[in-house]
Chain A
C-alpha cells in the first residue's frame, strides 16, 4: 500500500515523502530476521532426511569389493538381483491401475450419496489396520482351509482349493486391499472438486452419462488421476510385509525391498543394501517423472465452471 500510494503525494510534498521512505528503509532492511523462522524445519530435514540420504548415497559408492560403481555392476550382472525390479513393477503397476479403475466408478457413485461419510469411513478402515494385520487376515481367509475356498467348495464352484496365498495373487490382493482406500480417497477429492453444474450443462446439451464422463469428468480428473497413480504406485512399489507373508519371497514375489533386506540383514552388506535402495528410488522416480511428464500435456487448470 505504502509503496503504491507514495509516488503521488511525494511529488506534492517531496520532503515528507522522502523522509517517510528513508524511515522505512532504516527500519526494515538490515534487521529483517523473518527468514530465520525456517531454520528449525530446515535443520530437522537436514538431520532426518538429507544427511541419511547423502550417507546412503556415499555408502552405496564404497562397496566391499570393486570400484565406485561395484555394487551397481554386481546388481545388474546378477539376474537374481536385477529381476527384482521387474518383479516389483509387475506387482505395483497392475495393482495401481486396478485400484484406479475401481476407485473412479466407486467415487463417482459415492459423490452422490447422502451418507458419504459412513461409506468413506468403512473404506478407510484398511488403512488404519496396517499392512501386516491385513496380510495375516488374508492368509487365514484366502488359505486352503480359509472361508473363501471353503465357501466356493461348498457351493460346488471348485473341487479343490485355489491357491491364493504364497504366490503372486496373495500379494496382489493384499496390495489392492491396503492401497485402495488411499487411491479412492484421492480420487474422490478430485471428483468432488468438479463443479456439478458442468455435468448438468453437458446433459442439457445432449450428453448422456457415458459421454458426460468421457468429455467432461475424465479430462478434468485426468491430472488428478496422474498424481494419484504416482502416489499409489510409490506405495505399492515399496511393498515388503505382504510380499514376505503372503507371497513367495524366494521366487515370484521376490520384490526389490526383499533384495535390499537380504543384503543388509543376511549378508551384512550395508553398502549393497544402500545401492539397492537407491535403485529402488531411481525406478520410482523414473515412473513418476514419466507420468507427470504425460500429465503436463493435458489441461490442468481449475475444474470450476466460471465465476463462483
Chain B
C-alpha cells in the first residue's frame, strides 16, 4: 500500500485537549528500519504521539511526513501502519487465523497468498497449533503474539507498539521483550515503541526519545542516554534515582566536586566537554551553569550508593526500610535535610539506624540546579 520509504518525519506536531497541551511542537525523524522507543512517565505525551502517527487522534498542529507525502490528513485505515495495543485489542469473535488475517482481508489480498502470509506470521510468533483458538482461550503472552502477528502480517511501513508488555507478568515480559527484538531483527520493520520502562527501552531500541510534559527532552542511543543524560529529569528517568542537593566546590575539566550536607562528593558533568589530552586548567566554560558555589544536584543510581564507613566523602542518613532483592538489599533512607535516598546494602539494615552512604564518584552525575 505504501511504498518503501526513507524516513518518517514529525514536524512540530502538537495536540491540545481543551486547555491542556498534551504535545508541544514535537519534531522527530525516524529512519527506515530503525527501532525507536518513546520513553517517559505517564502523561508525558508518548502515547499521544503514537496515536497521532497512527491517525487515531487528530493532531491540532504541525504535520507528519512520510518522505514527501503528508500523511497526518489521512484516516487511520489509509495509512497502513500496524499497531499493537496495550490490551492487545484482539477481535474476540475471531480465531487466531482470522485475527491475523484481518488486515489482509481488508486489503483484499488474494486468498492463497493471504493464507500463506498468515501461516508465515503465525510461525514467526511461534503460535503454530493455536491457529483455531479464540483469543479468550489463549494466555496473555499468546494473545500478545497474536497482536504482533496481526500488525506485521500486512508488512506495514511502520509498526507502532503502545506499551505492549505492560499487561504481562515480569517473567513473560522479559521473554516477550526478547521475542520483539528477535522479530524486529528478522523483519527489520521500522518500529516506534512506547514505554515507561527505561530497561525495556534500553534493551530494545536503536534510539530512545525521552519525553516529558509533552515535549522531547533528549534523543540518543541507549548508550548515549545511559552515560550522558541531558538534564536532571532525564537522568532520574534513566535510573539515577538519587538527587542530592549541594554546591559546586571545584570544576576540573568535566569533573565536579560538590559539597552537600558537610560531605565532599565528586561526579562528572555531562554538560561539560571531557578533558582532551592535557588538562585545560581551572575555570568554568560559560555554557554550563556550574560556577563555583552555584547550587547543583549530584545524581547516582541506587547500585552506586553503598554503605560506607564514616568519612568526609560519605553522607549521613537514617534508614527507613530495606527490601531483599536476591543478590543484595535495596535500602531506603532519609538525610537530615529530608532528601530520600535509595541505596544498596549487602545485608538488611534495621529501620532507624544511622548510616553513612558514599556515592561512586566515577558513576555520579552533576547537574546545575
Contact = CB atoms under 8 A, between A and B. Distances in A.
Interface of A: 195, 197-198, 200-208, 211, 215-216, 219-220, 298-299, 301-308
Interface of B: 1, 54-56, 75-77, 79-83, 85, 87-93, 102-103, 105-107, 134-136, 140, 143, 147, 150-151, 154, 160, 167
30 contacts: A197-B85, A200-B83, A200-B89, A201-B90, A202-B91, A203-B55, A203-B75, A203-B77, A205-B82, A205-B103, A205-B154, A206-B1, A206-B77, A206-B80, A206-B154, A207-B102, A207-B106, A208-B75, A219-B93, A220-B93, A299-B134, A301-B92, A301-B93, A305-B89, A305-B90, A306-B89, A306-B135, A306-B147, A307-B88, A307-B143
A220 to B, nearest CB: 6
A203 B56 contact: yes
Contacts of A306: 87-90, 135, 140, 143, 147, 167
Contacts of A197: 85, 87, 89
**Taking chain A's interface residues, is the majority helix, strand, or loop, or is none over half, making it mixed?**
loop
A162 to B, nearest CB: 43
Contacts of B105: 215
A172 B107 CA distance: 43
A206 B106 contact: yes
A137 to B, nearest CB: 41
Contacts of A220: 92-93
Q: In this complex, which of A198, A206, A207, A220 has the most chain B Cβ atoms within 10 angstroms of its Cβ? A: A206
A301 B87 contact: no
A198 B80 contact: no
Contacts of A303: 92
Contacts of A206: 1, 77, 80, 103, 106-107, 154
A216 B91 CA distance: 7
Nearest to B160: A204
Given A201-B91, A204-B55, 10 more contacts: A200-B76, A202-B91, A204-B81, A205-B106, A215-B102, A301-B92, A305-B88, A306-B90, A306-B140, A308-B87
A208 to B, nearest CB: 5
Nearest to B103: A205
A140 B234 CA distance: 72
Contacts of A301: 92-93, 134, 136
B85 A202 contact: no
Given A207-B77, A306-B143, A201 B85 contact: yes
Contacts of B90: 201, 305-306
A204 B83 contact: yes
Nearest to B139: A307
A308 B82 CA distance: 21
A302 B92 CA distance: 7
A215 B98 CA distance: 11
B93 A204 contact: no
A306 to B, nearest CB: 3
A206 B79 CA distance: 8
Contacts of A203: 55-56, 75-77
A202 B102 contact: yes
Nearest to A205: B103
B92 A299 contact: yes
Contacts of A302: 92, 136
Contact of B54 (A204, A299, A305): A204
Given A203-B76, A306-B143, A307-B143, A195 B89 contact: yes
A21 B56 CA distance: 60
Contacts of B103: 205-206
6 closest residue pairs by CB, A with B: A306-B88, A299-B93, A206-B106, A305-B89, A197-B89, A205-B103
B89 A201 contact: yes
Contacts of A216: 91
A308 B151 CA distance: 20
